[in-house]
């Protein structure tokens, strides 16, 4: 039997609706609603699309939102000044700087300028460190969204071997920490890993986040495995495909995420959930 698809669009819609109802109750009570500020530097087409998705999602659930669109040659000092002002802005609970940034701006400096209790992307070293210490607060959106996807199909984690392909700070490394927190035994593969095929074949839970189309061959998938494909790659014909050879992998896996419609919607839904959590953190005792 082909693998069951893990429907990220459906789960994300449920999360958005839950948040929308919570925000509606806040308005009925005359209380301040959560606020999210998004900063876009430059005119990268993909970044514009991502920011548009986040702006639309905030509107749908009723959040207050601000989008700060800055020119591509903005100085690092100007960007830092804006973030510090947003850190102090009481109607803003979350701050997100859309990545990647232009090469003349140091990404780590910008991430570390964001107040830790407004870091709804979960990228600040403080929040990543809390996840590593098993004391999570605001968690990186894509990995945390993947945990929700896995939970939705009844993943048990304990006693299961999870393999993460890709070791980026945005997905791979925090994904490994999330899986460890859940109780899985975790292997992380990266560009220096010898014999990737061997590790993939051992995976009960496989998460691939590299950005190389069909990097993982479908016949490498362990029968009955759960496969999460984070990759989004556009073919010459304009189709979106993942990092996993989907059709053959689906014949071997028990569960698999589609591309598109799997992980992507959950990243935005988790951003909304993180913003709600940040709002709760900012409420008086």
Cα–Cα distance for residue pair 271/10, rounded to 1 Å: 16
Contact 210, 243 (CB under 8 A): yes
Q: Is 212 marked active-site?
A: no
- Per residue in 273-282, pLDDT (tens digit) is 999 999 999 9
Cα–Cα distance for residue pair 220/245, rounded to 1 Å: 10
Q: Is 243 marked active-site?
A: no
- φ/ψ (deg, to 5) at 279: -60, -45
Q: What's the burial of 228, exposed, middle or buried (CB within 10 Å: 0-12/13-18/19+)?
A: buried
What is the mean pLDDT of the segment spanning 1-8?
95
Q: Which residues contact 7 (CB under 8 A, 6 or more apart)?
A: 258, 261, 262
The pLDDT, as a whole number, for residue 284 is 87
What is the mean pLDDT of the segment spanning 103-109?
97
- Per residue in 159-207, pLDDT (tens digit) is 999 999 999 999 999 999 999 999 999 999 999 999 999 999 999 999 9
pLDDT at 233 over 80: yes
The pLDDT, as a whole number, for residue 163 is 98
Greater pLDDT, 238 or 133: 133
Q: Which of 93, 117, 121, 229 is labelled catalytic?
A: 121
Which of 88, 16, 21, 79 is CA-nearest to residue 282? Answer: 88
Which of 274, 273, 259, 157 is CA-nearest to residue 208? Answer: 259
The pLDDT, as a whole number, for residue 30 is 97
Q: Which residues contact 172 (CB under 8 A, 6 or more apart)?
A: 164, 165, 166, 188, 190, 209
Instruction: Please give the share of the chain, as a percent, with pLDDT higher than 90.
Output: 97
The pLDDT, as a whole number, for residue 1 is 84
- Per residue in 9-68, pLDDT (tens digit) is 999 999 999 999 999 999 999 999 999 999 999 999 989 999 999 999 999 999 999 999
pLDDT at 246 over 90: yes
Q: Is 121 marked active-site?
A: yes
pTM above 0.85, yes or no: yes
Per-residue confidence band for 152, with pLDDT thresholds at 50, 70 and 90? very high
HSE-up of 146 (CA within 13 Å, CB side)? 31
- Per residue in 257-266, pLDDT (tens digit) is 999 999 999 9
Cα–Cα distance for residue pair 246/5, rounded to 1 Å: 11
Q: How far is CA 210 from CA 159, 223, 228, in A?
A: 26, 22, 12
Cα–Cα distance for residue pair 67/83, rounded to 1 Å: 12
Q: Which of 98, 118, 119, 204 is labelled catalytic?
A: 98
pLDDT at 89 over 80: yes
Q: Which of 54, 117, 204, 243 is labelled catalytic?
A: 54
- The average confidence (pLDDT) of the chain is 97
């Amino acid at each position: 039997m082909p693998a069951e698809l893990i429907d990220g669009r459906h789960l994300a819609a449920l999360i958005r609706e839950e948040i929308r109802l919570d925000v509606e109750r806040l308005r009925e009570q005359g209380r301040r609603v959560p606020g999210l500020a998004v900063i876009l530097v430059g005119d990268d087409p993909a970044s514009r699309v991502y920011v548009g998705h986040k702006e639309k999602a905030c509107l749908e659930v009723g959040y207050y939102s601000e989008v700060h669109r800055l020119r591509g040659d903005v100085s690092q000092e100007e960007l830092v000044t804006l973030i510090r002002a947003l850190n102090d802005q009481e109607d803003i609970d979350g701050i997100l700087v859309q990545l990647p940034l232009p090469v003349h701006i140091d990404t780590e400096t910008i991430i570390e300028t964001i107040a830790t209790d407004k870091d709804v992307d979960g990228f600040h070293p403080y929040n990543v460190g809390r996840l590593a210490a098993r004391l999570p607060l605001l968690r990186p959106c894509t990995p945390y969204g993947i945990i929700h996807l896995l939970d939705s199909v009844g993943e048990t984690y304990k006693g299961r071997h999870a393999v993460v392909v890709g070791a980026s700070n945005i997905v791979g490394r925090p994904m490994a920490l999330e899986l460890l927190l859940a109780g899985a035994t975790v292997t992380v593969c990266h560009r220096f890993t010898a014999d990737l095929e061997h590790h993939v074949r051992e995976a009960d839970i496989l998460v691939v986040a590299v950005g190389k189309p069909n990097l993982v061959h479908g016949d490498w998938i362990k029968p009955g495995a759960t496969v999460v494909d984070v990759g989004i790659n556009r073919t010459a014909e304009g189709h979106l495909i993942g990092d996993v050879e989907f059709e053959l992998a689906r014949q071997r896996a028990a569960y698999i995420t589609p591309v598109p419609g799997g992980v992507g919607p959950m990243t935005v839904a988790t951003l909304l959930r993180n913003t709600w959590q940040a709002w709760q953190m900012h409420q008086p005792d």
